[in-house]
Amino acid sequence: MSSAPPVRLGTRASQLARWQAQWVAARLKELGVRVELVPIATSGDRQQAGPIRALGGQGVFTKEIQRALLEQRIDLAVHSLKDLPTVQPAGLCLAAVPQRASVSDVLVCRQHASLDDLDEGAVLGTGSLRRRSQLLHVRPDLHCKDVRGNVETRLRKLDAGQYDALVLAEAGLQRLGVADRITQVLPASIMLPAVGQGALALETRSDDQAVRAVVSDGLDHPPTHAAVLAERAMLAELEGGCLAPIAAWGRLEDRRLTLSGRVLSPDGRVMIETTLVGDANAADQLGRRVAEALIAQGAAELIRSARETT
């Protein structure tokens, strides 16, 4: 593809999104592909006031980029996979999922060493209902307060004393070179990740065989792709959307795909979870099985309650 026009790579304009896009561009250039970065502002980036869930649900960080792809203003889109709705627009496909970074959430504290050390009633910043519910399950005394803005903005708010601690994705802090701010990596027993957390989604037009092939052949990581397909199938079956208190972690263990799913009430008092193992080549099926097991335990009622109270 070296003699072809450059591949126009669409991305959000935030520092983290640009890091992700530059990483993808560098990998493509290693394959002999010329790349042009195209920053695109999304509704989630433009509207920084209030909680994310107030902006209308899924797609607030992806719709404008997907529209540019469909309108052929770009040839390839890079997303944080956790932001990508499970139902993709007609004409687009998930062409590749590169190897995943850390799936963990971490605590960044001003003064304390761990979640256990936080004072009773400490103010913890997170805009995620998933994170809030899981934290309240183990520390119901915490005061969880919404926080918006990019990673740098959130850290400044922490340092200014607006919060006692933040919960952030470890992968984002690593990619931005500020992993030294991490106070505690939260274990999976306390905090399962969001669907797709730590992974990138490379989206193309379904009929663009040239770009689709080079991305799939050169950047896809099959174990990661299988893991996130299972997580997304679980989420789709639960009809939870990205804002519900739903967590999932897929991983390949001994050549078998393991998927853990968790659903909570918004206040964290009720938590149900299931872990099942299946064939990596049938990731969708494993995701649906985990969702069905969660539904049998009452997941649908918890998700409905979350919609009514948020």
- The Cα 160–Cα 88 span in angstroms is 40
* Nearest C-alpha neighbor of 220 from the set 42, 114, 88, 94: 94
179 within 8 A of 170, measured Cβ to Cβ: yes
Single out the catalytic residue among 75, 83, 105, 208: 83
- The Cα 79–Cα 84 span in angstroms is 7
Alpha helices (H) along 239-282:
none
Q: Is 83 a catalytic residue?
A: yes
CA atoms within 13 A on the CB side of 147: 26
The H or E element that residue 253 is part of is: strand 246-253
* Nearest C-alpha neighbor of 292 from the set 280, 281, 278, 306: 278
270 within 8 A of 264, measured Cβ to Cβ: yes
CA distances from 17 to 39, 165, 176, 195 (A): 9, 24, 10, 18
CA dihedral 67, 68, 74, 75 (to 10 degrees): 10
CA distances from 267 to 47, 56, 144 (A): 26, 21, 10
Report residue 271: phi and psi, to 5°.
-140, 130
- The Cα 127–Cα 52 span in angstroms is 7
39 within 8 A of 18, measured Cβ to Cβ: yes
Active-site positions read: 83
